[in-house]
Protein backbone atom coordinates (compact mmCIF):
# COMPACT_ATOMS: atom_id res chain seq x y z
CA UNK A 1 0.00 0.00 0.00
CA UNK A 2 1.18 3.50 -0.84
CA UNK A 3 0.05 6.42 1.34
CA UNK A 4 0.64 10.02 0.27
CA UNK A 5 -0.18 13.12 2.30
CA UNK A 6 0.17 16.59 0.75
CA UNK A 7 -0.27 19.80 2.74
CA UNK A 8 -0.40 23.26 1.20
CA UNK A 9 -0.36 26.65 2.92
CA UNK A 10 -2.58 28.25 0.29
CA UNK A 11 -6.24 29.22 0.70
CA UNK A 12 -7.52 25.71 -0.11
CA UNK A 13 -10.57 24.92 -2.21
CA UNK A 14 -13.89 23.11 -2.14
CA UNK A 15 -13.41 19.93 -4.17
CA UNK A 16 -17.15 19.68 -4.91
CA UNK A 17 -16.85 22.96 -6.85
CA UNK A 18 -14.21 21.57 -9.23
CA UNK A 19 -15.80 20.99 -12.63
CA UNK A 20 -15.48 17.71 -14.49
CA UNK A 21 -12.90 18.39 -17.23
CA UNK A 22 -14.35 15.66 -19.47
CA UNK A 23 -17.73 17.36 -19.88
CA UNK A 24 -18.15 19.21 -23.20
CA UNK A 25 -18.54 22.67 -21.64
CA UNK A 26 -15.32 22.21 -19.61
CA UNK A 27 -12.99 20.70 -22.24
CA UNK A 28 -11.21 23.99 -22.97
CA UNK A 29 -11.32 25.37 -19.41
CA UNK A 30 -8.24 25.47 -17.23
CA UNK A 31 -8.22 23.54 -13.98
CA UNK A 32 -9.70 20.37 -12.57
CA UNK A 33 -7.61 17.87 -14.48
CA UNK A 34 -5.33 16.97 -11.56
CA UNK A 35 -8.28 16.41 -9.25
CA UNK A 36 -9.94 14.26 -11.91
CA UNK A 37 -6.82 12.12 -12.41
CA UNK A 38 -6.19 11.57 -8.71
CA UNK A 39 -9.85 10.64 -8.12
CA UNK A 40 -9.60 7.96 -10.81
CA UNK A 41 -6.13 6.63 -9.97
CA UNK A 42 -6.30 6.33 -6.18
CA UNK A 43 -8.26 3.79 -4.14
CA UNK A 44 -8.97 6.25 -1.31
CA UNK A 45 -8.86 10.04 -1.40
CA UNK A 46 -9.67 12.57 1.32
CA UNK A 47 -9.58 16.36 1.20
CA UNK A 48 -9.02 17.77 4.69
CA UNK A 49 -8.56 21.15 6.39
CA UNK A 50 -10.68 23.11 3.89
CA UNK A 51 -8.80 21.69 0.91
CA UNK A 52 -5.28 22.46 2.12
CA UNK A 53 -4.48 18.82 2.87
CA UNK A 54 -4.98 15.76 0.68
CA UNK A 55 -4.48 12.17 1.81
CA UNK A 56 -4.55 9.34 -0.71
CA UNK A 57 -3.98 5.60 -0.73
CA UNK A 58 -3.24 3.13 -3.48
CA UNK A 59 -3.05 -0.61 -3.02
CA UNK A 60 -0.32 -2.15 -5.13
CA UNK A 61 -0.56 -5.85 -5.96
CA UNK A 62 2.61 -7.92 -6.01
CA UNK A 63 3.55 -9.37 -9.36
CA UNK A 64 3.95 -13.14 -9.50
For range 51-61, the mean pLDDT: 93
User: For the segment 9-23, what is each residue's pLDDT rounded down to a tens digit?
Assistant: 988 888 888 888 888
User: CA torsion 46→4→49→26, rounded to 10°?
Assistant: -60
Distance, CA of 45 to chain centre: 7
Instruction: Indicate left, alpha or beta for 31 from its phi (over 0: left) and psi (-120 to 50: alpha).
Output: left
For 58, how many CA atoms within 13 A lie in the half-sphere containing its CB? 10
Whether 31 is in a domain gets the answer yes
Question: For residue 26, is pLDDT > 80?
Answer: yes
Whether 63 is in a domain gets the answer no
Whether 35 is in a domain gets the answer yes
Confidence category of residue 64, pLDDT binned at 50, 70, 90: confident
Whether 64 is in a domain gets the answer no
Please tell me the predicted confidence (pLDDT) of residue 44.
97
Quote the domain boundaries for residue 13: 2-58
CA 24 to CA 60: how far, in whole Å?
A: 33
Whether 25 is in a domain gets the answer yes
Number of domains in the chain: 1
Question: For residue 56, is pLDDT > 90?
Answer: yes
Percent of the chain with pLDDT over 90: 44
Amino acid sequence: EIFISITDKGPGFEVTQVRNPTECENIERNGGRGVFLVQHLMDDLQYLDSGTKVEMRKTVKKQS
